[in-house]
Amino acid sequence: MDTGKFQKYDHGSKENAKVYGSPSPPEYDLELLKGFNINLVCGKDDLIATPLDYHFLRKKIDRNNYVELMEYTLGHIGLLMPNDPFSTESIINKLVNGSKG
């Protein structure tokens, strides 16, 4: 979110030049993402992908897709290593059985 862009990992200009062939990491072209049903499962307590980040992403992909935002009080690895396995089971069930009304 520092750049306001949705882009590949920034290794720093010197390493970016080696990895990507330019001093800046390339942006993902989110306009190519069209016609999908997308569930964004997001953790409000995530310190890596914050609510600011995922709301930014949703706004970018919501134009050409159906996007359902599923916010939970989870951290970055909350689905993989939950404090409460029942909340994870609930999320997985919504994804598998469809969360659209």
Tens of pLDDT, residues 54-71:
999 999 999 999 999 999
Please say if the pLDDT value at position 32 is more than 50. yes
Q: Do 25 and 41 reside in the same domain of the chain?
A: no
d(CA 42, CA 46): 8
pTM (global) more than 0.85: no
- Its domain, for residue 17, covers 1-32
Confidence category of residue 77, pLDDT binned at 50, 70, 90: confident
Structure-model confidence comparison of residues 82 and 27, the more confident one: 27
Q: Are 46 and 57 part of one and the same domain?
A: yes
Judgement on whether residues 78 and 62 belong to the same structural domain of the protein: yes
pLDDT reported for residue 101: 43
Mean pLDDT of the chain: 89
- Using DSSP's 3-state secondary structure scheme, residue 7 falls into strand
Bridge partner list, 40: 69
Instruction: Name the domain count of the chain.
Output: 2
Same domain, 58 and 12: no
CA quadruple 86, 89, 95, 100: dihedral sign: negative
Quick one: pLDDT at residue 65?
Answer: 96
Q: Are 44 and 79 found together in one domain?
A: yes
pLDDT tens digits for range 42-58: 999 998 889 999 999 99
